[in-house]
Structure 1
């Protein structure tokens, strides 16, 4: 894959009939149906996006296998971020099995949904995380600001693990700049300073905003992420189809392009493709 390919570094496919999406319920009509590569193809084509990274949406190994099955049959899927029970005795052997699939690139525990905000600091088995590192797999951190201290503890324990923070750590944009800025902004600064050079996804911001958001709504949050992570450590993702709850693919892609239009061409190319390619080993 050449470095100038535009990559959506975070999107989902699912089928509610599979039965393991506990968060996905009929009272979410924009989302409660099957979404597959055929649904995304016209949207990403219109945006000039050639490849995507598909991310787990259910805390089961079975869903990860389902995504890998899709990936085997669709060239647009460049990589899969799956789910593995990292606190389980058999986590390392599951990782060995999944890593036989060339498009298996990373794991994501759904930290935002766990009742224990400190889970990441103490629960994952050391042999499982060391196996991630040995297999050259990455780690997606789905967090809010309240998870930052525990994530820092985890990251410092495993300096050789590649970590990306999903959705800019989900700032509460809908609360407004006064109520929704801290402690998120300080958390971003703390994460970006870690010597491991964490990456961060420029994704999910539209989802965290109020309906009828504008570029101006998102501008300070994008600027803060750019200030601390820089163009070299940000990667754009759509968070489609979750995005459909509060926006659409073209609007968010266009807004992100406009909000980064002051950058050099090479920096924009990095955010919209090259960084994801390098980070996920696509």
Structure 2
């Protein structure tokens, strides 16, 4: 089974995508299953993980509705308000849905880099462990030390680092990111998504530009903790779905057949229990 571990659907008219630029020809338009289906078929993708793009429970319920009627959507990574402990009841309700996998607070957009370490939000991480739900880590290289502190505080939490934590490839930044990722791989149980990096390149999409980052993630985490994702439709800021899928296959060409099967399906199936 081939799995896209990270994609989005959205409807801007819903009004809760505060990060979305207005009138952007690529982003600020509706995307639904019919828009993605041809690309999935062309790439031979069997299932996907649908990930939140708005910080509202309403959007999570909207995505679960899509998942209910879309066989290719294996499950949903949603959102709850970590700053409201009464939302534990909401999390427990969502957890009863067979296609609800876990949550993703939009940490990259928060002004306080230490937000995730505040005592007031620890209830949510404890609830994820108790409910056996997943945590998608959305951040930048500057968050690496905070994620390390969080994940060592909650070692039983099933966590995955979205988009390789967005290395700033356009700036040639590597060493600090690489050291931090190696530490996360070595000292936590986190998985990592091989996704979202082509939009960090400022248009430089040559394999040689991306290879050091991909090789480092594969070396440090091993194929058993790396899962490929498209980050569609955000990836369209740099290229189309099939372009990134083909490039990822080239960048993983040195792996054996079993390891490739892990990166392009098996790891996501294990982590999200698909």
Fold-level similarity (TM above 0.5): yes
What's 1:218 paired with? Answer: 210
What's 1:183 paired with? Answer: 176
- What TM-score do you get using the length of structure 2 for normalisation? 0.97
CA shift, 1:124, in A, is: 5.2
- What secondary structure does 1:183 align onto? helix
What's 1:275 paired with? Answer: 267
Match of 1:192 among 178, 185, 195: 185
- What TM-score do you get using the length of structure 1 for normalisation? 0.94
Q: Which segments of 5 or more consecutive residues in structure 1 lack a partner in the other structure?
A: none
- What secondary structure does 2:254 align onto? coil
Q: Whole-Å Cα distance in 2 between the matches of residues 236 and 267 of structure 1?
A: 12
Q: Whole-Å Cα distance in 1 between the matches of residues 7 and 42 of structure 2?
A: 16
Deviates more, 1:243-252 or 1:21-30: 21-30
Is the contact between residue 87 and residue 123 of structure 1 (CA under 8 Å) also seen in structure 2?
no
CA shift, 1:123, in A, is: 5.0
Match of 2:100 among 101, 104, 123: 104
Is the contact between residue 202 and residue 236 of structure 1 (CA under 8 Å) also seen in structure 2?
yes
Q: Whole-Å Cα distance in 2 between the matches of residues 29 and 139 of structure 1?
A: 31
The runs of 4+ residues in structure 1 deviating greater than 4 Å are none
What's 1:20 paired with? Answer: 16
CA shift, 1:90, in A, is: 1.3
RMSD (Å) for aligned C-alpha atoms: 1.1
Q: Whole-Å Cα distance in 2 between the matches of residues 182 and 23 of structure 1?
A: 29
Match of 1:92 among 88, 94, 97: 88
- What secondary structure does 1:193 align onto? helix
Is the contact between residue 140 and residue 167 of structure 2 (CA under 8 Å) also seen in structure 1?
yes
* Number of positions where the alignment pairs a residue of Structure 1 with one of Structure 2: 274
CA shift, 1:26, in A, is: 2.1
Q: Is 1:10 aligned with 2:2? A: no
CA shift, 1:113, in A, is: 0.3
Q: Which segments of 5 or more consecutive residues in structure 2 lack a partner in the other structure?
A: none
Q: Whole-Å Cα distance in 2 between the matches of residues 91 and 160 of structure 1?
A: 21
Match of 2:145 among 122, 146, 149: 149
Q: Whole-Å Cα distance in 1 between the matches of residues 91 and 120 of structure 2?
A: 13
CA shift, 1:210, in A, is: 1.9
CA shift, 1:212, in A, is: 4.7
Q: Whole-Å Cα distance in 2 between the matches of residues 187 and 62 of structure 1?
A: 35
